[in-house]
Structure 1
């Protein structure tokens, strides 16, 4: 709700009058109040053609926005005109100070961290108290999200068809975005079912943007929720928060965006995987890309550049959201476990270790030695098959829940690698194979000096495994004979080829037990 000009005293609304007009409303600013009048229009997605419809819309705007800013939305007023058949309904609001608008604060380089924490807390509190129900849950389903994505893809293609502005988008980034979206959604049924089961789908804000947030001394005021279509306001709470994160990124505040999402997740107790956070930010960027293309079709030349920037942002987040099963293999002494742990830590993802799974299945602590010759004891073929089956079953559940998995094992048997490929395909996940390679003398030195741990393999076992291992031609060879950081960079380049170290990393602020 823009205010024109600045008052001499910061944080106070200006005394002079102002006006702002949108395609469906006119806002008049007088003194300390703002008066919002609905236009008598019917653009297709809403109908304000009658005074009764406008009154109902004003009343609904008051009810919905008072959930976030009760002291801003003061009530329903009327404008009366001589000879008019019906008084014109008007939403009466407390006028907000322009110098406290979040978008302007961000552009001006102000410190907004504390204000964003307050916004995150306010949003989490609202979501905790928000209306829920079957009609709300339906909009948070995988099918509903897929339908919204497909509608937006179709609209973008239609807007850019037949020489429309930004026509290169439909043949450039849009096909990749569509493929990444479809693959993510196809394998994530359990994730979206669990979001519904946990009550994460709420009647939220629907259009949380920095220009509609005012950072006052006594806390933020969040204005202008989406009121004309309930189904667009029924959404995953994380999707609601992702809208502001996307907007902050577009304002050049990527670190603040990531921090805001982390704080929202903390205050709401939401253990969503980072992949879902990136997916929702991508969705919001793509929707805004579509809106920019609409403006471009209306003659706004600068909007084409904006659309390209937003599509780039959507693609960056979709690529980062891609769920992957990363196989980190190699012979004993190759440094595979060290690399796997460092890689999982750098990516902020789940690490599964065949050595630990093997001993867990045997009912012994992972650090307890259980040495045996090649193919003997806990390393008999049937035990190995059981170990890999259990590891992959755990990986399957994690992948379906949106979690990328780094799987640390030798992966020397082609049949186990084929089984891993089946798991990746069935969960719509990428499969990345890394084979650790170190000089023979380095590997031997590591085995000779290694202390007790999950792995029991010594030099004789390593030699026997080298003779029996199947070729692995499709694996990316990673040099693990030297600097660990160099090996991690090489592995990251294979796992995230478009952006090994994305500028915005969404990590959990904590992990839920259980």
Structure 2
């Protein structure tokens, strides 16, 4: 079989990912199904069983059943018996349901008893799609040459452009109420992100695993150092439903400023500190070779929002963000047919170095204040 494409030996021991999430790409449609259903008020739409009964055998939550139904609809699997089998063997459905596998009768009963509620969900989905179409039409009209990342590459961004961006963002932020999030939940969010960074990245970037674990350990120490500051940000209402993924390629220097690709589908991902969001945009400017533009952006934000930048907290946010952004960059290295391995490897290492650099700056800022934190963060190779 020398002249044929050969597969792997099925008895060969392989280091498989430790969690199902690693099998599901970031652009997989099941992530949209999951985010869409999680944002719905199922009781308002007419689903029964949204409140857990105090007695009797536990039932499947209608959200789980609705995800199975939508998955079957989108993948042309109308049969309840086929959906039962797919729940037992299909990795996408295992991810979507948390490895739950209702039997075919349960699936059929849900479909029969929830007809009106499912039609309400379809109406809600159509409304969402209409909004996306409007957004796509607006996006198509944005000139590529005026996107912020292109302007940064040409060195054509002026301070007046940054002032216009900040005015646009400030108007948006001021209209947002503080999110209903506890300080403990905000702290748990960062613990989860750091743990996930370490788990995913050490499996992909095996040669840098020591440096990754060290950086994640340092970020845990940083989290302890800024804990009181995080609590104050929550208490003062700076955690809001923001854009969620504000990068230079999402900002257009038109008049007025255009901002696209807000994470409309996930309230959880949008709910962040306004300083975190602007700090992320500044971080991306730094990665693109324009750190001075990022500094001007942060100064303008502080003045416009009357929110003096806490250097220790800012660099903590930026260190975490850089490491999180390293995850999807590293994930490209797992693709078998990829012609830009070196590009994605450089991108991943660039994010790691940014994460380490801002960790060092966070340590310096905390040491200059009341917190003492000694960190040994050397560059990665």
TM over 0.5: yes
**How many angstroms apart in 2 are the aligned matches of 1:308 and 1:57?**
39
SS in structure 1 opposite 2:253?
strand
Q: Is the 8 A contact 1:169 1:308 kept in 2?
A: no
1:236 aligns with 2:273: yes
SS in structure 2 opposite 1:322?
helix
1:170 aligns with 2:206: no
**Post-superposition shift, 1:183?**
0.8
Residue in 2 aligned with 1:93? 138
**Post-superposition shift, 1:274?**
0.5
Residue in 2 aligned with 1:271? 308
**Post-superposition shift, 1:57?**
5.6
**1:149 aligned to 166, 186, 194, which one?**
194
Deviation sequence 1:33-72 (CA, Å, 0-9, x none) = xxxxxx9x32575578557878746744877xxxxxxxxx
1:259 aligns with 2:304: no
Residue in 2 aligned with 1:205? 243
1:312 aligns with 2:357: no
Q: Is the 8 A contact 2:312 2:365 kept in 1?
A: no
**How many angstroms apart in 1 are the aligned matches of 2:285 and 2:219?**
23
SS in structure 2 opposite 1:235?
strand
**2:374 aligned to 427, 430, 435, which one?**
430
TM-score w.r.t. the length of structure 2 is 0.63
Question: 1:8-23 to 2 correspondence within 5 Å?
Answer: none
The structure with the largest strand share of the pair is 1
**Post-superposition shift, 1:323?**
5.1
**How many angstroms apart in 1 are the aligned matches of 2:172 and 2:312?**
24
Q: Is the 8 A contact 1:276 1:321 kept in 2?
A: yes
Highest Rg: 1 or 2? Answer: 1
**How many angstroms apart in 2 are the aligned matches of 1:168 and 1:264?**
39
**How many angstroms apart in 1 are the aligned matches of 2:309 and 2:235?**
13
**How many angstroms apart in 2 are the aligned matches of 1:497 and 1:285?**
15
The verdict on how the C-alpha distance between 1:227 and 1:266 changes in structure 2, with shifts beyond 3 A counting, is: same
SS in structure 2 opposite 1:219?
coil
**How many angstroms apart in 2 are the aligned matches of 1:152 and 1:180?**
13
**How many angstroms apart in 2 are the aligned matches of 1:233 and 1:279?**
18
Q: Is the 8 A contact 1:140 1:192 kept in 2?
A: no
Deviation sequence 1:419-478 (CA, Å, 0-9, x none) = xxxxx4xxxx239xxxxxxxxxxxxxxxxxxxxxxxxxxxxxxxxxxxxxxxxxxxxxxx
**Post-superposition shift, 1:324?**
6.6
Mean alpha-carbon deviation: is it higher for 264-273 or for 138-147?
138-147
Superposition CA RMSD, Å:
3.2
Deviation sequence 1:286-310 (CA, Å, 0-9, x none) = 1111110111111340211210111
Q: Which runs of 5+ in 1 are unaligned?
A: 1-21, 25-38, 64-72, 77-90, 161-165, 327-348, 351-397, 400-423, 432-495, 500-514
**1:296 aligned to 321, 333, 344, which one?**
333
**How many angstroms apart in 2 are the aligned matches of 1:122 and 1:62?**
25
Question: 1:410-489 to 2 correspondence within 5 Å?
Answer: 424=372, 429-430=373-374
1:224 aligns with 2:269: no
**Post-superposition shift, 1:187?**
2.8
The verdict on how the C-alpha distance between 1:176 and 1:132 changes in structure 2, with shifts beyond 3 A counting, is: same
**Post-superposition shift, 1:116?**
1.7
Q: Which runs of 5+ in 2 are unaligned?
A: 1-24, 37-69, 75-118
Deviation sequence 1:324-348 (CA, Å, 0-9, x none) = 776xxxxxxxxxxxxxxxxxxxxxx
**How many angstroms apart in 2 are the aligned matches of 1:210 and 1:325?**
29
Q: Is the 8 A contact 1:120 1:263 kept in 2?
A: yes
TM-score w.r.t. the length of structure 1 is 0.47
Q: Is the 8 A contact 1:140 1:196 kept in 2?
A: no
